[in-house]
Structure 1
Amino acid sequence: MELQNISILDSAKIGFEFSCSWDMEHGLGVMARKGKVINIGEAEVAFMAI
């Protein structure tokens, strides 16, 4: 797993996009708000405004 991108969506939300060996096509995305994880999924989760 390797960090590919960090997206700052606003003052409270930050997205992290990773490449990963178990899903090379879609990767892994993590969205956090105020330091707490709010969503985990494919890489696109890291930059989606929810």
Structure 2
Amino acid sequence: MPDVLDISGFRKLIGLSNVHLLNVEKEGVGYVGYEFGCTWDDEHGFGVMTHKDRIVSFGGADSSFLTWIARKDIEPIEKETNDSKSEETDIQNNTEIKDDRKPWWKFWK
């Protein structure tokens, strides 16, 4: 991966080659994958899988279309103990996170 000083630097490094509409849905909304060609990996490319306004996975181009990745996102992971689960819930309920960044798909503007 070449050094990129700002978001606009990705324009010269990647190009969209495919958009994948997966046959997996959560909350009535399907998963969408974006497959890119990239300068740093001609063989495997670059891929991003999204659901609504959230990035589910990114990596090689296959990250954009493997349905098992979307299915894994749907199924909750079991916690080790009930105590750690309740502590985690308490922390989540009492913590407000504010994110003023632009949506990820507007990186070229």
**Same topology, TM > 0.5:** yes
List alignment gaps of at least 5 residues for structure 2: 1-13, 24-28, 70-109
Deviation per CA, 1:1-50: give whole Å up to 9, x if none: 10000001143200000000011110000000112101001001111112
List alignment gaps of at least 5 residues for structure 1: none
CA radius of gyration, larger in: 2
* Pairing partner for 1:35 from 18, 35, 53: 53
Q: How does 1:1-50 map to 2 (within 5 A)?
A: 1-10=14-23, 11-49=29-67, 50=69
Higher relative contact order (CA 8 A, sep 6+): 1
Structure that is richer in helix per residue: 2
CA RMSD of superposed structures (Å): 1.0
Q: TM-score, normalised by structure 2?
A: 0.44
Q: TM-score, normalised by structure 1?
A: 0.90
